[in-house]
Amino acid sequence: MESDIHWLTATELGQRIAAHEISPVEVTEAMLARIGRLDPALHAYVVVLRDRAVAQAKQAGEEIATGRPRGPLHGVPVAVKDLCDIEGVPTTAGTAILRERPAQRTSTVVERLEAAGAVILGKLALSAGAMFDHHPSVAVPVNPWNAGRWTGVSSSGPGVATAGGLCFASLGSDTGGSIRFPSAACGVVGIKPTWGRVSRAGVFPLAPSLDHVGPMCRTVADAATVLTVIAGADGRDPTALRAPVPDYRSAVRGGLRGLRIGIDERWNTDGLDPEVTGLVLATREVFETLGAQIIPVKVPANDALVMTWQAIAAAEAAVSHAGLFPENADAYGPSTRGMLEAGPALPATVYASAHEARLRLAGELAHLFESVDVLLTPTVGLATPPIGTEPSPEVLARSMRFTVPFDLSGSPTISVPCGFTQDGMPASLQLIGRHLAEETLIAAGHAYEQATDWHQRRAPLADADRLET
């Protein structure tokens, strides 16, 4: 088996497994060996489920050998953010207090991955409570593009594992940008589906009305495959949407002729890093070449929405952590504690005003999507910062400019690599669509990806034979 098999896409690997060219057991053991070699320095995994993964790989191999294929993920090793319950395994949610509490039942998203025949390698690191910072006792994941740079929060482990070739696909969650921040910082593809498109049953909540679960992969086609598997109604989660789930993989065969892409150039650039926003705006030429129509628009969002998001998130997070906080405050990082302390202290009028602003935004976006099919923005409008820096409130607002509005509205988004800054860090574009328009986003993201070669670049630390631990 070739030494760089970890760089196959999930789609390519699934095809080779189905054709009996590669054994699920061989590839799983190769991935486990790679994790053992690189993860002591990259810190992507909270726990590696070695025995479970090998057993799943053996079962997949037997089923495929006897003509019982389950689909394109059958035998493909993946990993999930440590908010997703797996029966018998603790879900730490990035905290210290939950490390000794095994889950009683597996989350719906993991059940669906396993039903599709995927091999679950383990659970991936995140910030404390899926909020802003990692607990001091946690080894912070290391960006495989540059060990001195931020990996994004809170799905830092999924971003690092996916970019580092430590899994073929992963699941993250997004409440204020936590699929999109690490996708941008680590140079991978992330889909934040429409709110409710993917069940949250068995996924530890942060702010339930803002929480989204979605795939993080190295290509758009892989993300489409994973989303097809995990999406859909769920009796365990009454908020999961009952709309039929299309085969999102078919969207990658769609063209962009006539697609209307809205761009608010001022919003996309004002006060932001010109190098990053320049790379994103340069994608207009690629989309136009592919047949899309660029339409100037004014997005009904502003940086004050970050305060709207903070009010709703803090109040809901306080409810999510009731019974754990403040009794176990030391189990959380300092900024996370600050958010949990702020939630109960919010006046009802502040929460009501935030809710009204949220409804207004959703209505205005729905009106905007009558004239365009997708919006194009940076995923993050600032260069990936050095680790250990404490952003000012102004910088924080600008970094969340393109993420929190679409958690508030529940709109689907896709983040796709779109170049590199002069210091070698990935840049990322974001496409936003109307509710349940994931197929349109996948078609546009895939077409752009295939017209460029950014997704073929490899993070330098992930190609090292060994790293200092």
Q: What is the mean pLDDT of residues 158-171?
A: 98
Beta bridge partner(s), residue 438 = none
> How far, rounded to the nearest angstrom, does the alpha carbon of residue 237 sit from its chain's CA centroid?
20
pLDDT higher at 116 or 133:
116
pLDDT band at 469 (very low <50, low <70, confident <90, very high): very low
**Token couple for 428:** 């990322």
Q: Delimit the domains of the chain by residue range.
A: 5-463
pTM greater than the 0.85 cutoff: yes
Per-residue confidence (pLDDT) for residue 398, from 0 to 100: 80
Tokens standing for 130?
Answer: 């899926």
**Which pLDDT score is estimated for 129?**
84
For 212-234, the three-class secondary structure string (H helix, E strand, C coil) is EEEEEECCHHHHHHHHHHHECCE
Contact 32, 5 (CB under 8 A): no
* Residue 465 confidence (pLDDT): 53
The total of other beta-carbon atoms located within 10 Å of residue 453's CB is 9
At residue 85, the pLDDT reads 98
What secondary structure does DSSP assign to 46-114, as a single string? Answer: EEE-HHHHHHHHHHHHHHHHTT----TTTT-EEEEETTB-BBTBB--TT-STTTT-BBSS--HHHHHHH
CB neighbours of 180 closer than 8 A, spacing ≥ 6? 152, 174, 190, 192, 379, 380, 402, 403, 413, 415, 428, 430
Alpha-carbon distance of 124 to 243, in angstroms, equals: 30
Please state the rounded mean pLDDT for residues 338-359. Answer: 94
Please give the share of the chain, as a percent, with pLDDT higher than 90: 85
Supply the residues annotated as catalytic: 81, 154, 178
- Exposed / middle / buried, residue 243 (Cβ in 10 Å: 0-12, 13-18, 19+): middle
Which of these ranges, 270-274, 338-342, 371-375, has the smallest mean pLDDT? 338-342
Task: Compute the C-alpha angle 298/353/127, nearest 5°.
Answer: 80
More confident site: 109 or 1: 109
The one-letter amino acid at 453? D
DSSP alpha helix (H) spans, 331-402: 334-345, 348-368, 393-399
- The mean predicted confidence, pLDDT, of the chain is 94
Distance CA 402, CA 96 (A): 31
Say yes or no to pLDDT of 468 above 80: no
Share of the chain above pLDDT 70, in %: 97
Q: 29 burial class (0-12, 13-18, 19+ CB within 10 angstroms)?
A: middle
**Of 121, 123, 126, residue with least CA distance to 95:** 126
Q: Facing residues of 120 across strands? A: 78
| CA gap 287, 282 in Å, rounded | 9
Q: Enter the tokens of residue 371.
A: 């004239």
Which one is the CATH code of 5-463: 3.90.1300.10, 3.40.50.300, 3.90.420.10, 3.30.420.340?
Answer: 3.90.1300.10
